[in-house]
Amino acid sequence: MNKTEKHPEQKKQLPFTGIKSKMLIYFGLICASIIIGILVIYLFGIPILNFHGALSNQRVEVLQTLNLIADLKKERLELWINQREHDVSIIVNSNIAKDLTENLTELVRSITEISNNSSIWIKLQEEKDYLDLVQFIDNIERPYSINEGILIADVKTGNVICSPDSKIVGSNISGQDYFMNILSPGIFQNISIINKHPFHNGIEDRQFHFVISHRIYSSRNNPDEAAGPIAVLAVFVNTDYFIKPLLHTGGGLGSTGEALLVSMNAKILSPLKYELPDGSTAEVLEYEIIAKPAVFAARGEEGIISAIDYRGIPVLAAYRHILINHETGWGLVVKIDEEEVFAAQRNNIAKISIISFIGLVMFVILCNIFANKLSRPIRHLSKTAELLSKGRLHERSHVISNDEIGILSSAFNSMADQIESWHNEFEIQLKKRTASLEAVNKELEQFVFIASHDLRSPLINIEGYSKEIEYDLEEFKKIIPLEDIPEGDNEKYKQFLNDEIPESLNVIKNSVRKMDALLSGLLKISRSGRAMINKKPVNMNMLIVEVIESFDFEIKKIDAELKVSGLPDCESDEMQLSQVFSNLISNAIKYRKPGRKLKIKIYGKKNTDNLQYYIEDNGIGIDEKHVKRIFELFQRLNPKKTSGDGIGLTIVNKIMKKLNGSINVKSEPDKGSTFYITLPLKNYKESV
């Protein structure tokens, strides 16, 4: 058995196809998908199980916070407005104020009936009732510095009849909302937003102010009476002191969060934290927000929402409605950018991802250790099997364990034992056979050698003495002249001496020559069997030229055409190869088609695993039924027509076998034959 023989199916293992790599890949994939799955579930939840993910939870949490903040701010704002209203109600419900107002009203009315000169307002301020009333309302205005101003105006004329700020006394407010609204039936108190008021010389300051106006009734009359109010109290509230701190302090809105207050028609009441998308700054009381939370809040709705704010950025918002007058009120919105809300979550995701990655790496390391441990016996086993299959039959698996691999291992070992014992037995048998075959072969060749050698000796004698008899016959004829023989016997002697004896001698000689041809053929074969093969690189073109030169005479004689095209070189025995080509060319000449110009083409080619040389002729060709026999011993297809010993192709065949090559023929009768020999590309070890 050839131990270096390779099985084609045993290819080199590709990377990542080993059991260990597979384990690593599979385990790693499982681990990675578990981690990714947990991450996804953690973030987005499982809808069917009513499990909300972290993102959803975060959202809910933020919305709850926003709700709380909005509620708190709303409550505080309402409380504060209530306090302001309470301030107002202290005045309007005070009998002193009522009486003083009534007195003053009547006084002013009586004066203005006489004269409408502005000087009357200066005189009015010197009245005792006026001073008392101013003192009274001033007490309410001053303590908190909340109120920007306070005034009492006559219902009928709209003239300011009393105010701590003396310069506005006598001015007319009858056209103002806060004055007119209060005169509508059923309305006793009104809160109006203004952007200018008399205390600031009626200049628009683009600031949010509001004024609480309230009816003042006579203390002597029932308020419900049709007599109506006698005057209107208006308190101008400074929002800076409270609303700005209310909106902008308190925390809980992160860095992007913002609280804003809008009027009933959704106009902003406080400056916005951000610029508008076009880069301009929104004007208080001018800019109308169209973002949903503000609109909803102004409309009177309350709730939470995820919406786009005035900048066009997604936000989470809580909106509240603060009832100011009977049906209308302001909207309060607290909001925070979604981005900020989820930024924390994203940060979490990043952290979790890093932790997961570290976990994955550790898992892979552990997997590697375990995969190594688990696959080691299998790898050992497969390595052993591979070595075994390459002919190292003494290799055994050393895996000892009580699991399946252990069972496999011991089964494998006993199989290997069996194979080894078979193999050894086979080898012994083979050696015996080979030895006996060699002996037989040697004996046979020896036999052929001796036989052909020794059988020739008698032939030499037969031939030699036949010739001697011929000589003797000639001598005899000279010694005894025919004339001396009696007449009757003369013809008989003549016949013997001239015909019968020479004819017999000829038959003997011909038979001897035939026998000699057979014997020398045998001898040649026996010799070619004994010849040593000496392999060397052979220049085939040169070899062919030399062979052809030896046929020069014959080729010229029969006017044959020989064409040789570039032959690949080989590594073989030059002597033997030249004998092969010599035989084949000789055959081509011998078996040419009479009357046709002989053309011989010699060419070769190099294949991937062998070399081939072709000798093509246009001779008589070989019938298909004879093709198999031509390489057999003493086969001559046309013994009478051509000369030859009939062993040329047998010898060629034998030589080609010795050179690890082969000879074949393709032929068509009457057209020609192509003999082609195949040689191995590399000089393989001489086969035993």
Partner 1 sequence: MNTEVVILIAEDDDGHAKLIKKNLQRSGISNEIIHFPDGEKILDFLFKKGPGPHRKSGSSYLLLLDIRMPGINGIDVLVQIKEDKELRKIPVIMITTTDDPIEVEHCHCLGCNNYITKPINYDNFIEAIRQLGLFLSVVQIPRINGDKAIR
Q: Does 533 engage in binding with partner 1 (CB under 8 A)?
A: no
Question: CB of 453: closest distance to partner 1 in angstroms?
Answer: 6
Strand, coil or helix: 341: helix
Strand, coil or helix: 571: strand
Strand, coil or helix: 547: helix
Q: Is there a contact between 316 and 63 (Cβ–Cβ < 8 Å)?
A: yes
- Burial class of residue 609, CB neighbours in 10 A (0-12, 13-18, 19+): exposed
Please list, in sequence order, all residues whose beta carbon lies within 8 angstroms of the beta carbon of residue 78, skipping any fewer than 6 positions away. Answer: 322, 323
Helix (H) or strand (E) holding 441: helix 404-479
Of 325 and 461, the one with the shorter C-beta distance to partner 1 is 461
* Per-residue contact flags (x/-) with partner 1 for residues 43 to 62, judged by CB under 8 A: --------------------
How far apart (Å, rounded) are the C-alpha atoms in residues 207 and 196? 8
| Number of residues lying near partner 1 (CB under 8 A) | 20
Of 516 and 546, the one with the shorter C-beta distance to partner 1 is 516
Of 67 and 520, the one with the shorter C-beta distance to partner 1 is 520
How far apart (Å, rounded) are the C-alpha atoms in residues 100 and 188? 20
Of 183 and 518, the one with the shorter C-beta distance to partner 1 is 518
Q: Give the single-character DSSP code of 603.
A: E
Of 532 and 688, the one with the shorter C-beta distance to partner 1 is 532
Question: CB of 472: closest distance to partner 1 in angstroms?
Answer: 11
How far apart (Å, rounded) are the C-alpha atoms in residues 234 and 78? 19
How far apart (Å, rounded) are the C-alpha atoms in residues 48 and 44? 12
Of 508 and 562, the one with the shorter C-beta distance to partner 1 is 508
Question: CB of 684: closest distance to partner 1 in angstroms?
Answer: 26
Of 226 and 532, the one with the shorter C-beta distance to partner 1 is 532
Question: CB of 447: closest distance to partner 1 in angstroms?
Answer: 15
How far apart (Å, rounded) are the C-alpha atoms in residues 263 and 329? 7
Of 452 and 583, the one with the shorter C-beta distance to partner 1 is 452
Of 405 and 512, the one with the shorter C-beta distance to partner 1 is 512
Question: CB of 457: closest distance to partner 1 in angstroms?
Answer: 5
What are residue 283's phi and psi, to 5 degrees? -85, 130
Question: CB of 521: closest distance to partner 1 in angstroms?
Answer: 13
Q: Is there a contact between 432 and 442 (Cβ–Cβ < 8 Å)?
A: no
Question: CB of 685: closest distance to partner 1 in angstroms?
Answer: 25
Of 136 and 465, the one with the shorter C-beta distance to partner 1 is 465
Which parts of 503-532 interact with partner 1 (CB under 8 A)? Answer: 512-513, 516, 523, 527, 530
Q: Is there a contact between 187 and 179 (Cβ–Cβ < 8 Å)?
A: no
Question: CB of 547: closest distance to partner 1 in angstroms?
Answer: 18
How far apart (Å, rounded) are the C-alpha atoms in residues 102 and 90? 16
Of 109 and 509, the one with the shorter C-beta distance to partner 1 is 509
Which parts of 103-162 interact with partner 1 (CB under 8 A)? Answer: none
How far apart (Å, rounded) are the C-alpha atoms in residues 357 and 532? 72
Of 419 and 455, the one with the shorter C-beta distance to partner 1 is 455
Q: Give the single-character DSSP code of 609.
A: S
Of 61 and 472, the one with the shorter C-beta distance to partner 1 is 472
**468-to-514, 531, 604 alpha-carbon distances in Å:** 20, 38, 54
- State the CB neighbour count (10 A cutoff) for residue 584: 25
Of 463 and 573, the one with the shorter C-beta distance to partner 1 is 463
Question: CB of 388: closest distance to partner 1 in angstroms?
Answer: 46
Of 37 and 464, the one with the shorter C-beta distance to partner 1 is 464
Among the residue ranges 27-35, 399-407, 448-456, 587-595, the one whose residues contact partner 1 (CB under 8 A): 448-456
Amino acid at residue number 549 = E
* Per-residue contact flags (x/-) with partner 1 for residues 255 to 284, judged by CB under 8 A: ------------------------------
How far apart (Å, rounded) are the C-alpha atoms in residues 165 and 124? 13
Of 528 and 667, the one with the shorter C-beta distance to partner 1 is 528
What are residue 185's phi and psi, to 5 degrees? -60, 140
Please list, in sequence order, all residues whose beta carbon lies within 8 angstroms of the beta carbon of residue 87, skipping any fewer than 6 positions away. Answer: 140, 147, 235
Question: CB of 610: closest distance to partner 1 in angstroms?
Answer: 31
Question: CB of 525: closest distance to partner 1 in angstroms?
Answer: 12
Question: CB of 551: closest distance to partner 1 in angstroms?
Answer: 20
* Per-residue contact flags (x/-) with partner 1 for residues 449 to 488, judged by CB under 8 A: ---xxx-xx-xxx-xxxxxx--------------------
Please list, in sequence order, all residues whose beta carbon lies within 8 angstroms of the beta carbon of residue 62, skipping any fewer than 6 positions away. Answer: 316, 336, 341
Both structure tokens of 342: 């989820």
Q: Is there a contact between 565 and 605 (Cβ–Cβ < 8 Å)?
A: no
How far apart (Å, rounded) are the C-alpha atoms in residues 268 and 195? 12
Helix (H) or strand (E) holding 45: strand 45-46
Question: CB of 459: closest distance to partner 1 in angstroms?
Answer: 6
Question: CB of 636: closest distance to partner 1 in angstroms?
Answer: 20
How far apart (Å, rounded) are the C-alpha atoms in residues 164 and 149? 8
What are residue 202's phi and psi, to 5 degrees? 65, 25
Question: CB of 564: closest distance to partner 1 in angstroms?
Answer: 28
331 closest CA partner among 300, 306, 354, 290: 300
Q: Is there a contact between 51 and 97 (Cβ–Cβ < 8 Å)?
A: no
Both structure tokens of 148: 């920007």
Of 453 and 629, the one with the shorter C-beta distance to partner 1 is 453
SS (H, E, C) 483-524: HHCCHHHHHHHHHHHHHHHHHHHHHHHHHHHHHHHHHHHHHH
Note the maximum CA span of the chain: 220
Question: CB of 533: closest distance to partner 1 in angstroms?
Answer: 14
Question: CB of 455: closest distance to partner 1 in angstroms?
Answer: 9
Q: Which residues bind partner 1 (CB under 8 A)?
A: 452-454, 456-457, 459-461, 463-468, 512-513, 516, 523, 527, 530
